[in-house]
Amino acid sequence: MGQPVTVVERATSRPGVIRYEINRSITGTGHERFAAGQDIFGERPVDELARRLFERGGIDAIHVNSNIVTVDLAKGGTRDGIDELIANLFIYYGPGVEVPTIPEGA
């Protein structure tokens, strides 16, 4: 359940920095910046995305402005799997996860 996010990876002029354009705004019109090691307490989609990306590892910083996600890779970090993490941000039930049902008469 949920809807995948369309992700287009774009090159930047700075080595180790990758930009992703997505088909929805996850910050409204504001900017959000996150650094590795920073506590992320919020429950907004942008907060969840930052947590997932940092849990993946190999990332020093993330900047999100509306529908643009900019990732600053750590030294030796790769882009492998970043686009998939972004694409699956709004997928709630993946393969093997039982979808809850509402009992009859409830």
pLDDT tens-digit map of 13-64: 999 999 999 999 999 888 999 999 999 999 999 999 999 999 999 999 999 9
pTM: 0.85
Cβ contact 89:6 at 8 Å: no
Which percentage of the chain shows pLDDT scores above 70?
A: 92
User: In sequence order, what are the residues at sequence separation of 6 or more whose Cβ sits closer than 8 angstroms to the Cβ of residue 47?
Assistant: 40, 41
Tell me the C-alpha distance between 29 and 13, whole Å: 24
Q: What is the DSSP letter of 74?
A: P
Residue extents of the structural domains in the chain: 12-87
Class (C level, CATH) for 12-87: alpha beta
Q: Which stretch of DSSP H or E encloses residue 55?
A: helix 45-56
